[in-house]
Amino acid sequence: MATFFGEVLSVYSRAVEEEDREDEDENEEDVEIRRELEEKRTVHLKWCPEVSQAIEACSDKKLFCSHLIIAAGTNAAGFVSTFILNPARWHPVGWLALWNERNRGSGLKNSPPAPGKPGCVIYQQKEGGSVLICQCTCYVAEDQLFQWTEKLFAGLQKRGLTVTVLSDAPIAEYKTADYLHGRDVPFLCALKTSAYKEVVNSPFLEQPNIVTGLPAAVLCHCQVHGIPAVLYQNYSDVISADSITMEAYKPALTLTKSVKLEPPSTAFLQKFTRGGDVHDNLYT
């Protein structure tokens, strides 16, 4: 494969038929293994009983949602936890269970992921608002992205739905002509679907930068189905939870009327971000 910059990378390609693949040798056992693997990698969406009932009660068996916020990554999830998800007003109503090589823990179909453990949990306001927040802190493999997106959106009505995706990205992957004298890290870059008409509170992501993974899958789905969606990609040089990176997400939701940002307590923020700091003796 030739990249934008002219480097040639060798990658696996389904377009090329390799001569040594002999399908005739595949026996029942192989088929069985393949099927079991596929089953293991299936993404399951589970709702809590109240929401399941609400879905059953609707005529088209889909939940009405006016605003879906997806937070993908440690700092996006941290931002949403500290600035929005006040336990007095929000409660978890569902989760997506999946298994892959990097994420063996959140495959529990019968119970939600424990707090603090990687997983995809969906929150709703206690008085039953129409806003859903999906916090995704686990790794979703490439082959599971389509399933993940399809299953999540299959349960939601398209009418009146707006999607906001918040995602972390490493600054090392940000390509720009003027590398060092550009913006101060962390900063936001946005991408939106053609149906999204509202104000975007950050500059757009310029070429040749691309978005991959979960945010890309969600945005693609929304573009294909004509759902207004906006993605805010937060480029940061910190790989762990960091309060400054979390605060960089504020412009993404300040203009949104459906959720209110509450200033978090310093103690709570420190607790959230303390993990990596103390043992980092690399820099003094």
| Footprint of other proteins (CB under 8 A) | 5, 175, 177, 179-180, 237, 277-279, 281-284
Burial call 80-119: b when 16+ CB within 10 Å, e when fewer? bbbbbbeeeebebbbbbbbbbeebeebbbeeebbeeeebb
- Residue 202 CB, nearest distance to other proteins (Å)? 22
Nearer to other proteins by C-beta: 160 or 182?
A: 182
Closer to other proteins at the Cβ: 253 or 269?
269
Shorter beta-carbon distance to other proteins: residue 13 or 284: 284
In whole angstroms, how close is the CB of 284 to other proteins at the nearest point?
A: 4
* Choice between 12 and 283, CB closer to other proteins: 283
Residue closer to other proteins by CB (options 16, 177) is 177
Q: How far is the CB of 181 from other proteins (least distance, A)?
A: 10
CB 219 within 8 A of CB 232: no
Q: Element (H or E) spanning 10, and its range?
A: none
CA 218 to chain centre: 8
Give the count of beta carbons closer than 10 Å to the beta carbon of residue 31.
Answer: 10
Per the CB < 8 A criterion, the answer to whether 240 and 74 are in contact is yes
Min CB(17)–other proteins separation in Å = 33
Assigned token pair, 148: 């993940």
* Beta strand 120-125 pairing with 162-170: unpaired
Q: Are 190 and 256 in contact (CB under 8 A)?
A: no
In the complex, the smallest distance separating the C-beta of residue 283 from other proteins, rounded to whole angstroms, is 4
| The two structure tokens encoding residue 145 | 């992205």
